[in-house]
Amino acid sequence: MLLVITFIFCLFLGRFFYIQVIWKGKLHYLALDQWTREIPVHAGRGKIYDVNGELLAGNTAAYSVYARANAVENAERAADTLSGILGLSRDDLAAKLSDKSKSEIVLLRKTGKETVEALSGQDIRGVYFARDDVRVYPYGSLACQVLGFTSYDGSGTTGVEGYYNSFLAGENGEILYETDLVGVDLEDAVPAYLPAEDGLSVRLTLDYRIQSLAEQVMARALSASQAKAARAIVLDPSDFSVLAMVNLPSYDLNAIPRDDISLLNTLSRNALVSDIYEPGSTFKIVTAAANIEEGLKGNSRALPLGHVYSSSRTRTVDGTTIKCWSDHKNGKHSNQTLAEALNNSCNPCFVDIALALGEETFYDYLETFRFGRATGIDFSGESIGMLLPESVVKDCDLARIGFGQTIAVSPLQLACAVSSAVNGGYYYAPRLVEELFSEDGSVSKKTEKKLLGRTVSEETSRILSSMLEGVVRDGSGKKAFIEGYRVAGKTGTAQKYENGRIAQGKYVSSFVGYFPANEPKYLALIIIDEPQGSYYGSTVAAPCAGEIFQGIIDMMQLPKSEG
């Protein structure tokens, strides 16, 4: 009996300990919740600035109106008064205020200061309001797919707003009022104030001046070519910071089409990060870089820099005939060097390179340039592209990959790969955010440039840049040429596929270029999707890059290149 009594006593003692010590915090919260009502104190959402400190996303004052039905003395009379102030149905308000089953009711969200001023003058018991700011975007549609937007409750949904929501959102506070069991305020009770902690602000790497310039140029191109879409990305090749991202058509962040989800999903998608396409001849930069690097390493399979490629307009691989575009346009084809092959964008020459390097070596470079995997940008929804597994690739596949077919990449992947090929071989993680900071100016987190690996040597970059400068000076990229400035680049024109077959008359026209060629600071990838009429990258996309570069030169007052 003594043992039984001792055991039972220990059980009670253990239960008391659990309730008083371990469960204490939760019970205290439950008691507090039962005897108090809370008015939310919304945290100020962090702002978003461009690299220069220009405000791109901010807040304007707004309020939400709440009610506790148990504390409303006369629901019918309160509904009469509130309907006029809030602009809501009197009958709906009366029904809500009479429903005692709910402790708290939201009557109106995101209303203006004049509404709460009118409400304050009425002193309706059980009805109160709290600050609930509205997100505003001073530049409307500018960089809308990059910035993203918030939901009705102010939480980040897409873009930077979504990716960095945990930093931007902050921590809400509340004001606690003591009440009786039915939720009526106790007289002379002193409210407790738990302050909100505002969110951190974000400084992007984006430059709103370059973004605005690029959007204007691409809008003209979209209209002139009557294309399906026009896109552009501008990077700093020295650290892969994103200076501009343009996706057209776009939409106004202050008038989000929330009632048409399909349209909103289409317009808000950052296709430069999330979508993939066959890059066509712009990919020849990667093939050329691999061949030059292997040649400098002494690989006997690499075609030497002085190699003269056959004048034959075609190559037949595994029964598949690959033609040079000039077979259709000029009717003339001659022997040429690698530099000339880049100038003329000759497919057969790059077939020769891919097959000469072989499957293993070429795939090593594809991996080194991070095709088939994420670049590491601080943005949700990044595509890794489509790359045939090395184990199943055939010679005809390898041949086509050499000139940018049978491989699908995101525009960001290609821009980063080219940046690495021409900046000395350094591949950094692309970034959209430079730092996170509080409103007092103290920096909480700074995003430094991050080297992910080396792709080619500085000598390879130098040789390749010299060739690509020739493409703009003498070859297919002439419409991006700027007198006195060392612009380099490569055009691309790729056929589109639908249901596994070539879609007749549908093309993707592109150009990737940069300057100065000897020390790249600005790189632009231009993509025009399904232009009507002329569809060559040389005539549709290259002029856009030239306009953007000229605009940057004028904006930054950059001096002409020496030599």
Residues with catalytic roles: 281
Q: How far is CA 357 from the centre of its chain?
A: 35
What is the Cα gyration radius of the chain? 31
Question: Phi first, then psi: what are they for 342, rounded to 5°?
Answer: -70, -40
> How many of the other CB atoms lie within 10 Å of CB of 335?
10
Stated as kind and residue range, the H or E segment containing 292 is helix 284-297
Question: Phi first, then psi: what are they for 409, rounded to 5°?
Answer: -130, 160
Question: Phi first, then psi: what are they for 14, rounded to 5°?
Answer: -65, -40
Distance CA 86, CA 546 (A): 54
> How many of the other CB atoms lie within 10 Å of CB of 215?
23
- Residue 40 preceded by cis peptide, ω within 30: no
Distance CA 135, CA 35 (A): 34
| Three-state SS at 178 | strand
In 403-541, alpha helices (H): 411-422, 458-474, 537-540
In the block, residue with structure tokens 């097959």: 355
**Counting beta carbons within 10 angstroms of the beta carbon of residue 473, is it exposed (0 to 12), middle (13 to 18) or buried (19 or more)?**
middle
> How many of the other CB atoms lie within 10 Å of CB of 349?
26
Structure-block tokens of residue 294: 């292997």
| Three-state SS at 230 | strand
Half-sphere CA count of 556, side-chain side, radius 13 A: 15
| Three-state SS at 51 | coil
8 A C-beta contact, residue 238 and residue 205 = no
* CA 78 to each of CA 73, 98, 123, 314: distance values in angstroms, whole numbers, following the listed order: 8, 10, 10, 84
* CA 489 to each of CA 234, 473, 515: distance values in angstroms, whole numbers, following the listed order: 13, 10, 9
Stated as kind and residue range, the H or E segment containing 33 is helix 24-35
Nearest partner of 92 among 78, 102, 103, judged by Cα = 78
In the block, residue with structure tokens 């020849």: 284
Distance CA 401, CA 61 (A): 54
Distance CA 185, CA 230 (A): 59
8 A C-beta contact, residue 509 and residue 540 = yes
